[in-house]
Copies of this chain bind each other. A is one copy, B any other.
Amino acid sequence: MPSLTRIIERHIQELLERNGEESVFLSRKDLAERFGCVPSQINYVIRSRFTPERGFLVESQRGGHGYIRIIRLRMKKPEERANHIEELVGDVISEQEIKKLLANLQERKILTARERLLIEVAIRFQEQLCREMFDLSPFKREALHAELLKRLLRSIVLL
């Protein structure tokens, strides 16, 4: 039998499916009551399932009229996905290769110019940190770049 976490995850996904809504507003208190669990269980479900890495944004507000809002992002044109990001990026990647890859994705309209810029800036900053603050080897730096790049691309390209 599935875990409570799974059941609650399903429930939230179902709410999102309804009418293809792009977001749902939840009440942590009510959800916890409905599923007979402690409220912080809901935080666990969200923390482990509805992460930005998986294409979700979460907003919340405490206090009176509080809520948890889950926003699902999806591609406008699913056929324009870049599959095989793992292969494209690999385990290690140079800045040169990153630039080429990003240019290509932009060319194919998978990324906008601004998105590409964000990715380049994020990677450049990480490069600087790893080099100047932590004195990592070039190999380690390229491995970290590969990891960061994959996460970034997966989050917005593989929706």
Taking the full assembly, how many copies of this chain does it contain?
2
Q: Is A78 an interface residue (CB 8 A)?
A: no
In the complex, the answer to whether A118 meets B57 with C-beta atoms within 8 Å is: no
B73 and A156 contact, CB distance less than 8 A: no
Residues on B with C-beta less than 8 A from A99 are 59
Pick the residue among B6, B120, B124 that contacts A65 (CB under 8 A): B6
- Is A139 an interface position by the 8 A CB rule? no
Residue among A122, A152, A155 facing the most chain B CB atoms (10 A cut-off): A122
Tell whether, in the assembled complex, residue B152 and residue A118 are in contact, meaning their CB atoms are under 8 Å apart: yes
**Interface bits A125-159 vs B (CB < 8 Å: 1, else 0):** 11001000110000000001001100110011001
Contact A119 B120 (CB under 8 A): no
**Interface on A for B, CB 8 Å cutoff?**
1-3, 5-6, 51-53, 55, 57, 59, 64-65, 71, 73, 99, 103, 112-122, 124-126, 129, 133-134, 144, 147-148, 151-152, 155-156, 159
A129 / chain B contacts, CB cutoff of 8 Å: 126, 144
